[in-house]
């Protein structure tokens, strides 16, 4: 008999419409961006979004890190396995995001902000590099009252595994805390992605508070270095960082796994229940 996975996976992040374009390095310099940035938009970045549309033949793509992850997961899982939470506006961009999710079979549980537009993310592609600038807009209005409403909390209670991006610390730390504590109390799997180096740098206290409840932590080599610095681990060796983070205090007896990717290079995996740090080419 097939396993019942209805609603088993729940994710939280910022649902954003990606504005993607191949650009020249001059545009990066104009907006003081690096080739592989992942940053929040400042006021000086706001004209960039229209510039991409007007001058660079930009494509509009469904985005949001966890929403894309769950869309991919749902394509591989039985029907109705995944549910995504986040905040959008009452506009055409939100309908585009929902349409893409619907096509993949992903159920969305959006909080709708009637006053702000759906967030966008500029993707500036130069060669093999991609710089991301996010204008959260409605996404940053997500509030814990949405997920804790009885009808929505039912999705949390039904789930077995939770995936939340570090980006969400900037939006609703209270929602992360509520879901993490539920997972801990009910022996469910709680996972997070570091998402960007600024998360470890500017939300260190949030990461430290949540880490004991995290069963699986994902990140890349840049985020791993930022985390090592923020937590004062005293090493930049990615294998040692992975193992030291895995071995940090845990709120339960369940082991913690840390997975650090390195682009086209090897992936490093460490776990609190093993002395071996595994490296996958």
Give the pLDDT confidence of 93-147 residue by residue, as tens digits: 999 999 999 999 999 999 999 999 999 999 999 999 999 999 999 999 999 999 9
The mean of the pLDDT values for the chain is 96
Order across the sheet with 129-135: list the strands.
38-40, 129-135, 120-126, 17-22, 59-62
3-state SS of the chain? CCCCCCCCEEEECCCCEEEEEECCHHHHHHCCCCCCCEEECCHHHHHHHHHHHHHCCCEEEECCHHHHHHHHHHHHCCCCCEEEEEEEECCHHHHHHHHHHHHHCCEEEEEEECCCCCCEEEEEEECCEEEEEEECHHHHHCCHHHHHCHHHHHHHHHCCEEEEEHHHHHCCHHHHHHHHHHHHHCCCEEEEECCCHHHHHHCHHHHHHHHHHCCEEEEEHHHHHHHHHHCCCCCCCHHHHHHHHHCCCCCCCCCCEEEEECCCCCEEEEECCCCCCEEEC
Is the Cβ–Cβ distance between 195 and 222 less than 8 Å? no
Predicted TM-score of the model (pTM) = 0.94
pLDDT at residue number 1: 43
Cα 106 from Cα 118, distance rounded (Å): 19
Structure confidence by residue, pLDDT tens digits, 208-241: 999 999 999 999 999 999 999 999 999 999 999 9
Q: What percent of the chain has pLDDT over 90?
A: 97
Smallest Cα–Cα separation from 13: which of 128, 102, 126, 97?
97
Token representation of residue 159:
């789930």
- Distance CA(254)–CA(86), nearest Å, equals 28
Which pLDDT score is estimated for 2?
58
Is the Cβ–Cβ distance between 243 and 270 less than 8 Å? yes
User: Pairing mode, if any, of strands 107-113 and 120-126?
Assistant: unpaired
* pLDDT value at residue 3: 76
Cα→Cα distances 190→26, 85, 177, 198, 237, Å: 42, 15, 11, 22, 26
Taking the C-alpha atoms of residue 238 and residue 263, their distance in angstroms, rounded to an integer, is 13
pLDDT tens for each residue of 151-201:
999 999 999 999 999 999 999 999 999 999 999 999 999 999 999 999 999
Which residues on adjacent β-strands are paired with residue 88? 112
């Amino acid at each position: 008999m097939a396993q019942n996975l209805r609603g088993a996976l729940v994710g939280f992040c910022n649902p954003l419409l990606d504005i993607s374009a191949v650009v020249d390095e001059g545009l990066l310099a104009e907006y003081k961006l690096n080739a592989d940035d992942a940053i929040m938009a400042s006021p000086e970045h706001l004209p960039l979004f229209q510039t991409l549309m007007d001058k660079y033949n930009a494509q509009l793509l469904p985005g949001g890190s966890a929403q894309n992850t769950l869309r991919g997961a749902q394509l591989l899982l039985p029907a109705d396995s995944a549910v995504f939470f986040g905040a959008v506006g009452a506009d055409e961009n939100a309908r585009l995001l929902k349409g893409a999710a619907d096509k993949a079979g992903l159920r969305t549980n959006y909080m709708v902000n009637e006053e702000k537009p759906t967030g966008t993310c500029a993707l500036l592609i130069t060669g093999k590099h991609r710089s991301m600038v996010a204008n959260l807009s409605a996404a940053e209005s997500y509030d814990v009252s949405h997920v804790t409403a009885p009808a929505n909390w039912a999705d949390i209670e039904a789930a077995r595994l939770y995936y939340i991006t570090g980006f969400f610390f900037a939006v609703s730390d209270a929602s992360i805390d509520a879901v993490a504590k539920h997972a801990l109390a009910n022996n469910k799997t709680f996972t997070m992605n570091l998402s960007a180096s600024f998360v470890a740098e500017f939300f260190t206290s949030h990461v430290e508070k949540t880490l004991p409840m995290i069963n699986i932590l994902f990140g890349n080599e840049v985020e791993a270095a930022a985390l090592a610095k923020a937590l004062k681990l005293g090493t930049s060796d990615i294998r040692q960082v992975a193992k030291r983070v895995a071995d940090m205090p845990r709120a339960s007896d369940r082991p913690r796994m840390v997975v650090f990717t390195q682009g086209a290079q090897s992936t490093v995996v460490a776990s609190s229940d093993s002395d071996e740090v595994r490296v996958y080419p």
